[in-house]
Amino acid sequence: MKEIDNIKYEKITYQNYQTRIDKLFQKENLLKLGLNKKTLAKTEYGYNLDCITIGNGNNDLFIVAGTHGSEIISIDFVTQLIEKIDNLNNFDPNIFKIYIIPIQNPEGFDISSSVFNNININNYEKSSYEYYLRYRTDNLIINTIKDLNLFLNNLINNKNIVSTNELLYYLKHYIKTNKKIKILESNNAMPKIKIFNKLLLELPTTNSYKELKIKLLNICDITISKLNPNNLNDSFLKLFLLELKKYFNTKELWETIENNNQIRLYQEMFAKCKIKNLQSSLLEKDINKIYKLYKHPNGSQIGHDSTGIGINLNANNKHNPGILSTKTKSIIWGLGPKSNIQNYTPGPIGTATYDPNNFKYAKENKALYKLIENSYQKGTYLMTLLYHGTGGLIYYKPYQDMMNDNTYNKYYDYNKTLANIYSRKTNYTILEESGKTGYGDLLRRTYPGVLLIELSKMGGNPIGPYGDHNNIYITINDNLAAINDIFKYLKKEIKAEKKYSK
C-alpha cells in the first residue's frame, strides 16, 4: 500500500458530511473507478439513506457505518476509505464492487452532531480530549461501584465473619486499598463525594431519591427479618445492617446525591446544549418531546445512538430481550457511563422495536438486508463489514445454536480467516463470544463473512477519539491497511473459484 499522508482530521457533523461526499464526486480518479451514489430508502423523517458504490466487478463487498448515531469515527473512516481507495493497491475495480452505506442512521447522527456542533473547531482537539477524560472517569466510577457491590454481597453472604467490627474493618480496608477508588479520589475531575454515595448512585431503579431511600431501607429490613436471632453470625450481620440503615438515613448523604443531579461528568460538558437546527424540524420537535417525557439527563443528547423514532438499529432483532422490557414498561438502565439513561425506551440508547406488541424491522435495516440479499441471490456476494465506534474489537463468530452444523462450520472458518487478516494490521482484539440478540448477529448467521468492527481504541463516542489527532491518523491508516489485505486474500479466493453466495 502506498504511504498515506493526507488523512483528514476534521470535525464532521451531519451538515458538513454532505460537503465531504460532494467533493468525492469531483475527483476524476474516483469517477474513473465507477463511483456512484443512490438512495436506498427514505427514513421515517425523510432523510436519505445513501449507498455509494465503487468498482464494476462481479464480486460484492458491503460496508456499513453510522448504525449508531453517535459513532462518527465510523462515518469518518468509510468516507476517507472511498477517497483513498486508489491507494489500496489490492483493490481492482474490474474484480470488485464495493457498496458503502456511510450513515445507516442519518437521523441519529443529525441529533448527536447538532450537540457537539457547539464546539469551536479551533478547540476541537482540546475539548474532545477533555470529553475523553471525563468519559473515562465515568467509566471508572461505574466499575468501582460494581466491584464494591460484589464485595458487599460477598461480605453479607460470608458466614465466617465473626463480628460487626470485623465487617466494618473489611469494608474500610477495602475502600482504603482498592486501586480504582484510589485513582478516583486522586482525580481532580471527581466531585468530592464519598464512595458510598457512588454506590447508591448505581441503584437508581426509581425516579426519585425519596423512593430510592425507601427501597434501600426496605432491603435492609427484609434481610434482617430473614435472619435467625439464635445464630451468632446472623446476629452480627443484623448489627451491621442496622449500621447501614443509619447511614442510609443520614441527611447529608441524600443532599450530596441530589446535588450531583445524576448527570455524568461527560454529560456535564453539554448539559446546556439543545438539539437544534436539524434537517427535519418535525424530528427536532418530536425528539425534544421524547427527552422530556423519559427524563433523559441533560447533555445525554450527544450520545444519541437510536433513530428519530427511538429504535436502536443493532437491537432491532426479534430475539432482543429489550422487547419484553418495553412491553412490561420495566425500568432498565444503560451500561457503563450510560447507567443513568433508560434503556429500551425511545431516547439516546433506544428500543428494539417501535411497537413491542408488533415487532417490525426498521426501514434502515430492511434496506440493508434487501441490498445484501439481492447480491447473495445473484451469486456475487463476498462479505460484509459493519463499522461501529470504539473499542478496537472484532466480532466474527456466528451463533451456533441457531444454525445447522454445515453452515456454521463454513461461516466460522471463513469469518475466522477474515478476522485474523483484519487484526494483523489493526491489532484489534478478536472476540470469541457470539450473540443472537443484535441485528449484526442476525446478519452473521444469515450470510458468510460478516464482521463487526469496533474502531478507535480511544473511547468516548462521539468526540472522545478526536481528543488526539494521532489516534484518528492511526485508526484510519491501520483500517485502510487491513482492508487492503482483505482484498489481497479475496482476490486469491476468487481466482480459486471459491463462492460465498447462494
Residue 154 to residue 140: CA distance in whole angstroms? 21
Distance CA 209, CA 201 (A): 10
Q: Least CB distance from residue 431 to Zn ion, whole Å?
A: 14
Closer by beta carbon to Zn ion, 256 or else 353: 353
Sheet of 393-395: strands edge to edge? 36-42, 48-54, 96-101, 59-64, 381-390, 450-456, 393-395, 429-431
**CB 314 to Zn ion: min, Å:** 6
The minimum distance between CB 74 and Zn ion, in angstroms, equals: 8
Q: Taking a C-beta distance cutoff of 8 angstroms, is the pair 393, 428 a contact? A: yes
Task: Quote the least distance from Cβ 436 to Zn ion, whole Å.
Answer: 17
In the complex with Zn ion, the residue whose CB is nearer, 307 or 375, is 307
Q: Which residues contribute to the site for Zn ion (CB under 5 A)?
A: 68, 388
Residue 319, burial from CB neighbour count under 10 angstroms (0-12, 13-18, 19+): middle
* Pick 388 or 457: Cβ nearer Zn ion: 388
Alpha-helix residue ranges (DSSP H) falling in 33-186: 72-83, 106-116, 124-157, 164-177, 179-186
Q: How far is the CB of 68 from Zn ion (least distance, A)?
A: 4
What is the rounded CA–CA span in Å between residue 248 and residue 220? 10
Half-sphere exposure of 277 (CA within 13 A, CB side): 11
Q: Which three cell numbers stand for residue 381?
A: 456476494
Q: In the complex, which residue's CB is closest to Zn ion?
A: 388
Assigned C-alpha cell, 392: 478496537
Write down the least CB distance from residue 325 to Zn ion, Å. 19
Cα 333 from Cα 134, distance rounded (Å): 20
Residue 266 CB coordination number (10 Å): 27
- Given the complex with Zn ion, which of 320 and 484 has the nearer CB atom? 320
- Beta-bridge mates of residue 402: none
Closer to Zn ion by Cβ: residue 34 or 391: 391
Q: Which is nearer to Zn ion, 388 or 425 (CB)?
A: 388
Minimum gap (Å) between residue 389 Cβ and Zn ion = 5
Residues 6+ apart with CB under 8 A from 345: 294, 310, 326, 351
Q: How far is the CB of 447 from Zn ion (least distance, A)?
A: 19
Give the span between the Cα atoms of 450 and 423, in whole angstroms. 15
Distance CA 492, CA 340 (A): 49
Write down the least CB distance from residue 266 to Zn ion, Å. Answer: 17
Q: Which is nearer to Zn ion, 78 or 490 (CB)?
A: 78
Is 195 or 455 the residue whose CB approaches Zn ion more closely?
Answer: 455
Cβ closest to Zn ion, residue 60 vs residue 364: 364
Report CA dihedral (397, 368, 366, 433) to the nearest 10 degrees: 10
Q: How far is the CB of 19 from Zn ion (least distance, A)?
A: 25
Percent helix, strand, coil in the chain, to 5, is 50, 10, 35
